[in-house]
């Protein structure tokens, strides 16, 4: 990510819906029924069904790409709080991977202690999976530092806070503190959400190098999660310019009705935006003015504190 100049001169009058609300599903959900539409070059189009396995197809012919490993990782990622136990058939449908390949993945994972049969023919992940996440969290200085900072803010302000980074076209949560009254209480470390309609995603997109941002815009399909979701690339560009101008992002119910969030960038020592920290809350309870006047200073102080751990 490129170097940026910090802008900390925002005023209450500049509060607009320029960021993204962190939202409900651990994995960016696809809307169903009449909401399952996207915008491509300004036109409405039905969302084509995409599976994790279809994303692997782009690497076909690459002699260094291990398709079997990729499919095993897709099987692992298919287990969620909503679907903690699944059969081979269910995993095959969810991933787009053949039943035979899913069976081999589960057999291997079971032999290594990462998965096992729970009830009848249903599989579930085993505690040994924690070794994989622990390897990341214990070797990432920002993750290690962020959790106590977020928990301290939650204890003082009684709100939910998160830290995320950009991974492909999505944000991924690397630290989170939660209070039960927040609507999206199923978000957790490792949860992924679309970047374009979340506050943390817009912060991270706003500070991308120009070439990377243009590549993202070229492949972006806008899914309309709510009536407020940004409806065109041009409007998204304007929102990202506002993020850079004011130094923060607010999204008002663009990914989930009733949920707002505020995010600010976390700068590294060389003034590059490497992560983002945000606050999420119920729209009826938390006004846009309160977000700016009460919570924005706390977020910026926390971002400065976390930036000391980035090199």
pLDDT in tens, 59-85: 888 999 999 999 999 999 899 888 999
- Given a cut of 90, whether residue 41 has pLDDT beyond it is no
% of the chain with per-residue pLDDT over 90: 60
What is the reported pLDDT for 18? 39
Please identify which residue in the block is written with the tokens 């020592």: 269
Phi-psi region of 34 (alpha: psi -120 to 50; beta: other; left: phi over 0): alpha
Residue of higher predicted confidence among 231 and 22: 231
Tell me the two tokens of residue 214. 């243009």
- Percent composition of the chain: helix, strand, coil (DSSP 3-state, to 5): 40, 20, 40
* C-alpha distance from residue 262 to each of 15, 92, 105, 163 (Å): 10, 38, 40, 12
Distance CA 120, CA 87 (A): 9
Residue 129 per-residue DSSP state? G
What is the reported pLDDT for 290? 92
Section 192-198 average pLDDT: 95
- Given a cut of 50, whether residue 111 has pLDDT beyond it is yes
* Mean pLDDT, rounded, of the chain: 82
- Given a cut of 50, whether residue 136 has pLDDT beyond it is yes
- Given a cut of 50, whether residue 2 has pLDDT beyond it is no
Beta strands 222-223; 249-252: pairing state:
unpaired
- Given a cut of 60, whether residue 44 has pLDDT beyond it is no
Residues 6 or more apart whose Cβ sits within 8 Å of residue 236: 196, 217, 220, 222, 230
- Quote the pTM value: 0.68
Distance CA 42, CA 231 (A): 8
Residue of higher predicted confidence among 24 and 213: 213
- Given a cut of 70, whether residue 128 has pLDDT beyond it is yes
Section 131-137 average pLDDT: 68
What is the reported pLDDT for 53? 74
Nearest to 260 by CA among 26, 27, 19, 35: 19
* C-alpha distance from residue 266 to each of 11, 272, 274 (Å): 20, 8, 6
* C-alpha distance from residue 216 to each of 263, 277, 292, 311 (Å): 20, 22, 29, 26
Tell me the two tokens of residue 234. 């041009």
What is the reported pLDDT for 3? 40
Distance CA 208, CA 272 (A): 10
% of the chain with per-residue pLDDT over 70: 78
């Amino acid at each position: 990510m490129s170097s940026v100049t910090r802008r900390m001169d925002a005023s209450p009058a500049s509060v607009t819906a320029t960021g993204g609300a962190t939202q409900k599903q651990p994995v960016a959900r696809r809307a169903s029924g009449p909401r399952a539409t996207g915008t491509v070059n300004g036109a409405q189009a039905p969302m084509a069904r995409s599976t994790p396995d279809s994303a692997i197809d782009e690497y076909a012919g690459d002699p260094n790409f291990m398709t079997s490993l990729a499919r095993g990782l897709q099987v692992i990622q298919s287990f969620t709080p909503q679907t903690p136990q699944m059969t081979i058939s269910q995993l095959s449908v969810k991933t787009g991977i053949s039943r035979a390949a899913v069976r081999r993945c589960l057999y291997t994972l079971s032999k290594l202690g990462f998965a096992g049969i729970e009830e009848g023919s249903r599989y579930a992940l085993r505690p040994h999976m924690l070794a994989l996440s622990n390897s990341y969290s214990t070797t990432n200085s920002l993750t290690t530092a962020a959790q106590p900072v977020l928990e301290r803010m939650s204890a003082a302000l009684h709100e939910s806070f998160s830290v995320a980074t950009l991974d492909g076209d999505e944000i991924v949560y690397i630290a989170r503190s939660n209070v039960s009254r927040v609507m999206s209480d199923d978000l957790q470390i490792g949860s992924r959400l679309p970047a374009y309609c979340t506050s943390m995603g817009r912060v991270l997109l706003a500070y991308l190098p120009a070439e990377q941002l243009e590549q993202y815009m070229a492949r972006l399909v806008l899914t309309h999660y709510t009536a407020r979701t940004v409806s065109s690339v041009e409007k998204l560009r304007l929102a990202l310019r506002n993020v850079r101008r004011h130094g923060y992002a607010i999204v008002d119910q663009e990914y989930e009705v009733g949920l707002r969030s505020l995010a600010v960038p976390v700068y590294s020592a060389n003034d590059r935006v490497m992560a983002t920290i945000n606050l999420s809350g119920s729209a009826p309870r938390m006004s846009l003015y309160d977000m700016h006047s009460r919570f924005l200073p706390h977020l910026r102080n926390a971002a400065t504190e976390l930036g000391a751990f980035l090199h």
